[in-house]
Amino acid sequence: QKEVEQDPGPLSVPEGAIVSLNCTYSNSAFQYFMWYRQYSRKGPELLMYTYSSGNKEDGRFTAQVDKSSKYISLFIRDSQPSDSATYLCASVSGSARQLTFGSGTQLTVLP
Amino acid sequence: DAGITQSPRHKVTETGTPVTLRCHQTENHRYMYWYRQDPGHGLRLIHYSYGVKDTDKGEVSDGYSVSRSKTEDFLLTLESATSSQTSVYFCAISANQRDEQYFGPGTRLTVT
């Protein structure tokens, strides 16, 4: 079992929809959580970085961490065609030197 | 954008030949990483460096070696390329081990 599991999709939604992207993790030592966005043929870029449980909001994006259930979510409000990309979740423990990535969810927002 | 460049951006090589990929950063970050990305597997760590001449293995290090003689450069070498090493290779950097990582544009390697 991978330490970070992510539904690969693909996920297709109409413009303006609320998108929910999810990951689960198995390592209780994970403390830091990130979401990356990757456009086709580009490198991943950081969207959100959170520590501990709770919500973090940045514009149309909200990252949510529930450590009790080991669940990570990214919500996108008022989705736009420009949000079409692959979204990767990642986690790291306090002592580790490396991130553990999910396999990514491919999202398409239809105009 | 973080100052990370990768070279070459594309390469086609034959099985059995040596290949070296270069990552160069202008951010003076301590940590540098090499990942490969394949369909269905996401990003997998090959090797990483936590300082000049300090490197360690990642999840999929077999068949790869790395070197870091300067803060700004991190080299990934395939001593004898195999078709299973056909992939997209990304370099990443971070200031500290728990900080966000910034990724380069990637190198698309095809081994025929």
Task: Give the model confidence (pLDDT) of B26-68 as tens digits.
Answer: 999 999 999 999 987 889 999 999 999 999 999 899 999 999 9
Predicted confidence at residue A54, as pLDDT, reads 85
For the stretch A49-93, pLDDT in tens is 988 788 999 999 999 999 899 999 999 999 999 999 999 999 887
pLDDT at residue A94, as a whole number: 66
Alpha carbons B93 and A98: distance in angstroms, whole number: 11
Among A94, A96, A103, select the one facing B42 at the smallest CB separation: A103
State whether A94 and B33 contact (CB < 8 Å). Answer: no
Residues 6+ apart with CB under 8 A from B39: none
User: Could B104 and A43 be called an inter-chain contact, meaning their C-beta atoms sit closer than 8 Å?
Assistant: yes
Chain B positions touching A98 (Cβ under 8 A) are 33, 45, 48, 58, 97
